[in-house]
Copies of this chain bind each other. A is one copy, B any other.
Amino acid sequence: MAQMRRTPARTAPVTLQAHARLEVETPGQGFTDITREAAAFLAETEAASGLLVLFCRHTSASLTIQENADPDVRRDLLTALDRLAPRDLGWVHDLEGPDDMPAHVRALVTDSGLSIPVIDGRLALGTWQGIYLIEHRDAPHRRDIVMLFTGTARN
């Protein structure tokens, strides 16, 4: 049996929402760390505590939270995604090229959106967690992410 321990709940009012768009020019397939941009948005909003939602407005790119220390992890994650959604599977939808349908499958098994608590003005990420946009297409693309904060601001 797993041991569990829960801290007492801390409460605050909910007074504010704020949103912004983040545009990312990706260099093609791979991971782009957007943690700093999310933190900058929270700083600009003077967010104190609440919820940050990130939403990717595309179906051939997606979001994930992954290890930010060893870059080999991201390299291996690309290998894993290649294996989960190979190019040469005889996809019916191939008008946009052999990397298009695998991109949709990779978006399916990862996340279109992320929800991250904000506590004491900071993202409640673990030490080794970074927020990444994953470009699934070969070619560079301009990607649109919506950031939405709901909570309370410093006063």
What is the CA–CA distance of A8 and B44 in the complex, to the nearest angstrom?
Answer: 8
What is the CA–CA distance of A129 and B146 in the complex, to the nearest angstrom?
Answer: 14
A-B CB contact pairs (8 Å), 6 listed = A6-B23, A55-B116, A59-B128, A80-B108, A84-B84, A117-B146
A113 with B112, Cβ < 8 A, contacts A19-B10, A92-B72 known:
no
B residues in contact with A133, CB < 8 Å: 2
Q: Which residues of A contact B (CB under 8 A)?
A: 1-27, 32, 34, 37, 40-41, 44-45, 49-51, 53, 55, 57-59, 64-67, 70, 72-73, 75-77, 79-81, 83-85, 89, 91-93, 95, 101, 104-105, 107-117, 119, 124-126, 128-129, 133, 144, 146, 148-152
- Specify how many copies of this chain sit in the oligomer: 3
What is the CA–CA distance of A49 and B13 in the complex, to the nearest angstrom?
Answer: 15
What is the CA–CA distance of A41 and B4 in the complex, to the nearest angstrom?
Answer: 13
Q: What's the nearest-Cβ distance from chain B to residue A123, in Å?
A: 10
Check B22 against A6 for contact (C-beta < 8 Å). yes
User: Which residue of the partner chain, among B23, B53, B59, contacts A67 with CB atoms under 8 Å?
Assistant: B59
